[in-house]
A and B are shown apart, each in its own frame.
Chain A
Amino acid sequence: MRLGDRGLLLTWLLVGVVVVSSLVGSEMADRPPLTNADRVHDLASDFACPVCQGQSLGESDVPIARTIRSTIRTMVDRGRTDAEIRSMLVTRFGEDIDYTPRGDGLVGLVWILPVLVGGTAMTGVVVSIRRWQGRSRGGSTTRRPVVLGVVAVVVVLAGVLVARSAGDRLAGDTLSGDIRSSTRTLLADAGVSSPDEAISIYSRVLEIQPSNVEALAYRGWARWRAGADTEGRSDLDEAVAVDPMYPDVRVFRASQRHADGDHAGAAEDLVALDGMEAPPIVGDLLAASRLRERIATGLAASGDLLVALELLDSGLDARPDAAHLLAERGWLLVATRSPELVLRGMENLDEAIALDPLDPYGLAYRAVVLATVADRPDDAAVDLTRFTGLAGQPADLVDLLVVVGLLAPQPTSGS
C-alpha cells in the first residue's frame, strides 16, 4: 500500500471515529429527568395532543390534554416506568400520537428509509469517485473494500442519526433546540408541578418575559395561597395592570380580595370578568367555588345590598341559566325582611327552581322561606324532601336547615 493510500485510509478512519464519538457524545449529553415534574414534562412533550394541530400534550391546554397530563403525573407519582406510561398512551390513543415512532411494522420505515436512501446515495457517490480516480490515475483496487466498509459505517450511523432526529422531533421544535426553555413549555411544566416548584418555574418565566401575565397571575395566586400575602397581592395587581382582560387573574384577585375582606374590590374584578370572553371552565370554577355568592353575601352583610345585587345580576347577564345565582339573589332579598323585597326574593327562588329543579341552594332557601316567612310548612316539606334526596348536599345548607329546625341535627362522627 502506498503512502498516499494509507493517508486516505487514515482520513476515512478519522472521519469514522469523529462521527461515532459525536453520536455517543450527543447521546450521553441528554440530561436525565431530575424530578417527577421533569419526567411528566418529558413524557408529555413526546406525545401529540390527540385533538390539536401541531401541539404536544405538554403544550396544549384543551381538556383532554390536561386530563392526560394529570394521568401521566399520577402514574409517575405511583412509580410507573416511562415504558409503561408510553405503552398506556399508545394503547389508549393509538400510535399516531407518539412523536417517537416504534421500530417495527410500517412505522419502522421512518427509521429505515433515511438509512436506505442515505446509504444508496453515498454508495453512488463513492462509486463515482472511485471511477473518476480510476480513470485519472489507474488506482489500485486493494483498499476498495476497506474504504467502502468505512464509508458504509459512516453512512449507516449518519442514517441512524437522521432517523433519530426525525423520531425525536417535538412539536414546535426549533433549529436552535431551545424548546425546553421556552416560556410556553415552562408554563405547561408549572401547571403540573407542586406549588413550590411552580413558583420557581413562574419566576424563571418572568426572568425571560417580565410582563408574562400568565406567569404573574399564577405565581401571585400560588404565592398568596402559600402564605406569601404581600408578594402574592403584588403579582396579582401587576398582572391586572399588564392585562386587565386576562380572565384568570380576575378570578384569583377576586378570591384574594374577598378573603382579605375587600368585598367591593372582589366584586369589581368579577364584574370586569363578566365583560370578557372567558373560557367556560372559568364560569364552572366560579360556580363550583360559589365565590360570587360568597362575595355577594359579604357585601350584603356589610350593608352594600345594591352592590351585591349588581354583582349577581352581572353574573346572570353572562349566564342567564345560572339557577344558583338567582337563588342567592332571592335569598338576599328575603333576608332584608322588607315585604316588597321578600316578595321579589320569593319570585327569584321560584325562578331558580324552575331553571334547575335540583339546585340545592334554591330548594333549601325556598324551604326555609316557606317555613319561616310564608308560613307554608307543607310546601316547605316538599322542597325539603327534594333537597334531602339530593346526593352530596352542601354542608352549609344542611347547617342552615338544622339551625332553623327543618332538619334534625346530624350525628357527629364517632358518636
Chain B
Amino acid sequence: MNPIRMTALAVGLVLGLLILVFATRDTSRDRMTTHLVGAVAPAVVGVTLDGSEWDLDDQRGRWVVVNFFSTTCVPCIREHPELVAFAAAHAEADDVRLVTVAFDDSPSAVAAFFARNGGDWPVLTVDTGRVAVDWGVIGVPESYLVTPSGHVAAKVIGGVEMDELDGLLTRAMAAIS
C-alpha cells in the first residue's frame, strides 16, 4: 500500500477510536451527579446554631438528607420552602432527618435566615469549609441522601423539590429493602 495512504488510514483509525471513546464516555455532569454515590458518607461534625454538637455518625440507623446551603445563594433561598415542607411531612414518622451545612456564610446571617424562613433542623455554620471539601461540594445548593448504614444513596446538584426528595427516598428505601 502507498505509505501516504497507509499513514492517513492509521491516523484516521486512531482519530475514529478517539471520537468513539469520548462520545460514549459519561459527561462531566454525569460524573459529578454520581460522585460519592454508593460510597461511605464523609464526616459531618460540627456545632449547630443552638450550640449543640452534631455528628452524622450519631444518625446511624436513620435516613439523613445532608444539604449544603448559603444565605447568599438564590437557588438555596428558592429551595428552602421545599425543605421546610419535606421536614414537616416527615416530622411525625421521623423516618428521615435533615441537616444543613452552611458554606461560606456567617452564623448570624444563617440564624436570621432560618428565623425568618423556618426550618428547625440542625444547621452547622462553623468550620464548614472542611466539610464541603470532604464531600467534594462544588457549589451550593447540593443535597445528599444518606442511608441508615451511612452510605450516600443519591446526590442532587442544584435546588431540590420536596417531591424529588421523596422520590429519591422511596427509591432508595425500596432498593435497600
Chain A interface residues toward B at CB < 8 A: 50-51, 63-64, 67-68, 70-71, 91-94, 96, 106, 109, 113, 116-117, 120-121, 123-125, 127-128, 131, 280-281, 284, 287-288, 321, 323-324, 355-359, 389-392
Chain B interface residues toward A at CB < 8 A: 3-4, 6-7, 10-11, 14, 18, 21, 25, 28, 31-32, 35, 47, 49-51, 72, 103-109, 111-112, 115-116, 129-130, 132-139
Chain A residues with CB under 8 Å of B104's CB are 63, 67, 281
Q: Is the CB of A51 within 8 A of B129?
A: no
Q: Is the CB of A359 within 8 A of B112?
A: yes
Complex: chain A residue closest to B9, CB-CB: A120
Q: Label chain A's interface by main secondary structure.
A: helix
Contact of A356 with B4 at beta-carbon distance under 8 Å, contacts A92-B134, A93-B136, A93-B138 already known: no
Q: Is the CB of B138 within 8 A of A51?
A: yes
Our pick among B4, B32, B132 for the contact of A64 (Cβ within 8 Å) is: B132
Q: Is the CB of B108 within 8 A of A67?
A: no
CA distance A121 to B15 in the complex (A): 13
Q: How many A-B residue contacts, CB cutoff 8 Å?
A: 98
Complex: chain B residue closest to A319, CB-CB: B109
CA distance A98 to B14 in the complex (A): 24
Q: Label chain B's interface by main secondary structure.
A: helix
CA distance A25 to B108 in the complex (A): 56
Contact of A96 with B31 at beta-carbon distance under 8 Å, contacts A50-B138, A124-B7 already known: yes
A49 to chain B, nearest CB (A): 9
12 additional A-B residue pairs with CB within 8 Å, beyond A125-B7, A127-B6, A358-B112: A63-B103, A64-B132, A67-B133, A71-B130, A93-B136, A113-B14, A120-B11, A127-B3, A321-B112, A323-B112, A356-B111, A358-B49
Q: Is the CB of A392 within 8 A of B106?
A: no
Contact of A356 with B115 at beta-carbon distance under 8 Å, contacts A63-B103, A284-B109, A391-B49 already known: yes
Q: Is the CB of B11 within 8 A of A121?
A: yes
| Smallest CB-CB A-B distances: 9 pairs | A391-B51, A124-B7, A63-B104, A67-B129, A92-B136, A356-B112, A120-B10, A50-B138, A127-B3
Chain B residues with CB under 8 Å of A71's CB are 129-130, 133
CA distance A326 to B134 in the complex (A): 38
CA distance A281 to B107 in the complex (A): 13
Our pick among A109, A128, A280 for the contact of B21 (Cβ within 8 Å) is: A109
Contact of A64 with B137 at beta-carbon distance under 8 Å, contacts A120-B11, A128-B4, A391-B50 already known: yes
Q: Is the CB of A70 within 8 A of B129?
A: yes
CA distance A77 to B152 in the complex (A): 31
Contact of A94 with B35 at beta-carbon distance under 8 Å, contacts A284-B106, A356-B111 already known: yes
Query: What are 14 A-B contacts with C-beta separation under 8 Å?
Result: A51-B138, A51-B139, A63-B103, A67-B129, A67-B132, A94-B32, A96-B28, A96-B31, A124-B7, A128-B4, A324-B108, A356-B115, A356-B116, A357-B115
Chain B residues with CB under 8 Å of A109's CB are 18, 21
Q: Is the CB of A287 within 8 A of B108?
A: yes
Complex: chain A residue closest to B25, CB-CB: A106
A54 to chain B, nearest CB (A): 14
Contact of A124 with B133 at beta-carbon distance under 8 Å, contacts A94-B31, A96-B31, A106-B25 already known: no
Chain B residues with CB under 8 Å of A116's CB are 14
Complex: chain B residue closest to A63, CB-CB: B104
Chain A residues with CB under 8 Å of B139's CB are 51, 64
Contact of A106 with B132 at beta-carbon distance under 8 Å, contacts A287-B108, A358-B112 already known: no
CA distance A51 to B132 in the complex (A): 14
B125 to chain A, nearest CB (A): 10
Q: Is the CB of A355 within 8 A of B3?
A: no
B111 to chain A, nearest CB (A): 5
